[in-house]
């Protein structure tokens, strides 16, 4: 696997959709590696304001673990948003021209760049092409689920065809994080099936009110670590 500039280490666990300091503390205590802050998305409303997120990231000292999740596509807007928030990495969910990705790297060489690949919307051969085209400009990929009923391609709460993600992991010259409908109940099986560098969850670790649930978070981390440990014994 090619060396990655991303601050991510593998295996890693990311949890997205953080609302406040209580949730940050909970995730840090559970030893979650990366915390995702979604902003400027077409489908979902933000969980908190950009200013509040910036203050939260600063106050809790999580710069190196904080990831901005966004549909922004212009390099200047992405860099501005990431600098305002004080995150170490960005997770891009909208397609960008390669020139724009290159410009993003030039403007912010220290910023880790993850790019999502949407499973269930784009056919595998198209995903494979995307993977190879994007790889020189990004540090990693995240496979996520498309929900045709809402048009959402993130935070859907649905799993996708793990065989497709497994094929992407095998073909990818960069680390791949698996997302989409992961919970404590399925994450170990997902890791065994896909063999990703990391896993990501949002809705599967929340309660009915959309708050991070301590028991679900802890169980998710425990099961994910078990899944990764098992993979290691098979290497
Ligand atoms: O997290 C969001 O709100 C979000 C919204 C739109 C696009 C992507 C988004 N997040 C990306 C993630 O990394 C989520 O954690 C991922 O989609 C998994 O979500 P879930 O299926 O709810 O576990």
- Burial tier of 223 (Cβ tally within 10 Å: 0-12, 13-18, 19+): buried
Count: domains in the chain: 1
Look at residue 1 and tell me if it is in a domain: no
Token pair of 43, please? 């489908």
Nearest CA to ligand 1 atom 19: 155
pLDDT band at 7 (very low <50, low <70, confident <90, very high): low
Question: pLDDT tens for residues 214-225?
Answer: 999 999 999 999
Name which residue sits closest to atom 11 of ligand 1, judged by CA. 154
* pLDDT at residue number 6: 52
Residue 80, domain extent? 12-234
Write the pLDDT tens digit of every residue in 164-173.
999 999 999 9
CATH number at residue 26: 3.20.20.70
Q: Is residue 7 part of a domain?
A: no
Ligand 1 pocket residue status of 17, Cβ below 6 Å = yes
Cis check for the bond before 11: say yes or no (omega within 30 of 0): yes
Residue 185 lies in a domain: yes
Asked, for residue 149, whether it belongs to a domain, the answer is yes
26 lines ligand 1 (CB under 6 A): no
Q: Which of 17-31, 33-47, 109-123, 171-185 has the lowest mean pLDDT?
A: 33-47
Across 96-153, the runs of DSSP E, i.e. the strands, are: 112-119, 140-145
Vertex 152 angle, CA 44 and 96, to 5°: 95
Pocket test for ligand 1, best of 18, 38, 145 (most atoms within 8 A of CB): 38
Arithmetic mean of pLDDT, 1-28: 82
Asked, for residue 26, whether it belongs to a domain, the answer is yes
Q: Which atom of ligand 1 is nearest to the CA of 153?
A: 7
The angle at the Cα of 3, spanning 104 to 89, to the nearest 5 degrees, equals: 40
How far CA 216 is from CA of 156, 189, 213, in Å, comes to 17, 17, 5
| Comparison of pLDDT for 68 and 43, the residue scoring more | 68
Mean pLDDT of the chain: 93
- Asked whether the predicted pLDDT for residue 86 surpasses 70, the reply is yes
Helix (H) or strand (E) holding 92: strand 89-92
Q: Which two tokens stand for residue 141?
A: 């990929």
Ligand 1 mean position, distance from CA 22 (Å): 20
Nearest to 151 by CA among 120, 109, 127: 120
Tokens of residue 198, six digits: 């990391």
Residue 6 lies in a domain: no
10 Å Cβ neighbour count for 41? 18
Sign of the C-alpha dihedral computed for residues 218, 64, 191 and 115 taken in this order: positive
Instruction: Round to whole Å and give the CA distance between 192 and 162.
Output: 10
For residue 145, report the distance from its CA to the centre of ligand 1, in Å: 9
Give the lowest-confidence range in 24-28, 122-126, 129-133, 199-203: 122-126
Residue 140 lies in a domain: yes
Classify residue 193: in a domain, yes or no: yes
Residue 150 pLDDT: 87
């Amino acid at each position: 696997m090619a060396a990655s500039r991303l601050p991510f280490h593998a295996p890693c666990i990311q949890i997205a959709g953080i609302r406040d300091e209580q949730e940050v503390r909970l995730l840090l205590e559970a030893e979650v590696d990366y915390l995702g802050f979604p902003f400027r998305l077409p489908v979902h409303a933000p969980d908190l304001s950009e200013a509040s997120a910036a203050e939260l990231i600063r106050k809790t000292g999580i710069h190196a673990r904080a990831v901005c999740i966004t549909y922004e596509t212009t390099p200047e807007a992405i860099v501005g948003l990431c600098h305002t928030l004080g995150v170490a990495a960005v997770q891009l969910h909208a397609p960008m021209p390669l020139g724009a990705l290159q410009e993003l790297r030039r403007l912010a060489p220290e910023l880790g760049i993850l790019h999502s690949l949407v499973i269930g919307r784009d056919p595998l051969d198209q995903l494979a092409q995307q993977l190879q085209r994007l790889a020189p400009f990004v540090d990693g990929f995240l496979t996520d689920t498309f929900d045709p009923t809402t048009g959402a391609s993130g935070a859907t709460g649905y799993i996708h065809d793990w065989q497709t993600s497994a094929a992407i992991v095998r073909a990818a010259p960069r680390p791949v994080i698996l997302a989409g409908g992961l919970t404590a109940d399925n994450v170990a099986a997902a890791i065994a099936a896909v063999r990703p560098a990391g896993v990501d969850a949002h809705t599967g670790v929340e309660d009915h009110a959309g708050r991070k649930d301590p028991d679900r978070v802890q169980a998710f981390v425990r099961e994910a670590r078990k899944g990764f440990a098992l993979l290691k014994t098979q290497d």
